[in-house]
Amino acid sequence: MTALYGLTAIGNAIVDVLAPASTDFIASQAKNGMQPNTMNLINAERAAELYGLMGQATEMSGGSAGNTMACFASFGGKGAYIGKVADDQLGKIFAHDTRAIGVHFESAPLVGGKPTAQCLILVTPDAHRTMNTYLGACTQLTEDDVDENLIANSKVTYLEGYLFDEPKAKAAFFKAAELVKKHNRKLSLTLSDPFCVVRYRDEFMALVENHVDILFANESELKELTQLSDIHQAIESIRGKCEIIAVTLGEKGSIIVTKDDTIYIEVVPPKQLVDTTGAGDAYAAGFLFGLTEGKPLPECGRLGSIAASEVISHMGPRPLVNLKDLI
């Protein structure tokens, strides 16, 4: 069956609040559990406290899978997004930005509950980002939000590991995985974050072995998943457990791993390095755009690198130019 969409993504629908911060400030927040360069889950009280300590900020729609869809659409891909915002100003911003780039987004907003999720992102002068997420309305994403029609009509369905952080969203995740199998489509997973892998290692490994076709992981996530401190050993230990594994290595490029092949992809140097927020999301978008367009794997990797390069050249996780103009 032909597919109406190249990609449908399910994720935590989040508005990012980005502000520059010093490494000293990040260090000073260790007492509050802040882990540098990762995603930290925070509650409403901590979000208010941390926001009060942050400088003047910029608001932009974000969320890992949301960023991936923005890049996928920017390449010219046709896609859809499933995620839960609230019926509030930030939710309207998220919905607008998602639809404005041509992504189908009809998930019903949450009425009368928690507010739209926010991610307080501190960007240090070395361009690294430390994320602090208050999930808000995302905790109310349920199986009912997983539209079978979208999954059935998408070549690939893409899921964030972050969804595991909430029981209802996790149930939605598994429902989506079942529907992908039922409709004979492909399932893609991003491990999202090393601490997310720590939280759900065994379940992620079972998913990779039994459900996932295309896995995205960065170096630290893959080491956490395999419990191996050498990246090459980690790669060998997971090779063949799913069809394609794309491992991003930051400034060292990426490696595409299949049962029989190992393909090294060079990084595309950014014009300037400003903010790495969304780099992995962008890579996945370029890769999956190539794959759903029937491109060979090296070209998929190159498209991923192009997208990541654009996104890290400015503040914010989504492209500021049409990515299709860059290829």
Q: Torsion over CA of 215, 96, 99 and 313, rounded to 10 degrees? A: -50
- Smallest distance from a copy of itself to CB 308, Å: 18
- Smallest distance from a copy of itself to CB 271, Å: 11
- Smallest distance from a copy of itself to CB 108, Å: 19
Indicate whether 55 belongs to the interface with a copy of itself (CB under 8 A): yes
**Cα–Cα dist 189/161, whole Å:** 7
On the 0-12 / 13-18 / 19+ scale of CB atoms within 10 A, 325 is exposed
Q: Which of 21, 50, 85, 90 touches a copy of itself (CB under 8 A)?
A: 90
**Are 224 and 194 spatial neighbours (Cβ–Cβ below 8 Å)?**
yes
**Residue 103 CB contacts under 8 Å (≥ 6 apart), including other chains:** 69, 70, 72, 73, 79, 80, 81
**Residue 28 CB contacts under 8 Å (≥ 6 apart), including other chains:** none
Nearer to a copy of itself, 77 or 194 (CB): 77
- Smallest distance from a copy of itself to CB 239, Å: 38
Instruction: Report residue 144 CA to chain centroid gap.
Output: 22
Q: Which of 2, 56, 184, 229 touches a copy of itself (CB under 8 A)?
A: 56
- Smallest distance from a copy of itself to CB 109, Å: 14
In the region spanning residues 308 to 327, those forming contacts with a copy of itself, defined by CB under 8 A, are 316, 318, 320
Neighbouring CB atoms inside 10 A of 205's CB total 16
Strand stretches in the chain, DSSP E: 5-10, 14-20, 39-41, 58-61, 79-82, 117-123, 129-134, 154-160, 186-190, 214-218, 244-248, 254-257, 262-265
**Cα–Cα dist 114/140, whole Å:** 9
Indicate whether 267 belongs to the interface with a copy of itself (CB under 8 A): no
Indicate whether 28 belongs to the interface with a copy of itself (CB under 8 A): no
Q: Which of 8, 12, 40, 61 touches a copy of itself (CB under 8 A)?
A: 61
- Smallest distance from a copy of itself to CB 58, Å: 5
- Smallest distance from a copy of itself to CB 317, Å: 11
In the region spanning residues 6 to 25, those forming contacts with a copy of itself, defined by CB under 8 A, are 19-20
Nearer to a copy of itself, 115 or 301 (CB): 115
Q: What is the DSSP letter of 104?
A: B
In the region spanning residues 106 to 165, those forming contacts with a copy of itself, defined by CB under 8 A, are 115
Binding site for a copy of itself (CB under 8 A): 19-20, 51-52, 54-61, 70, 88-90, 93, 96-97, 100-101, 115, 316, 318, 320
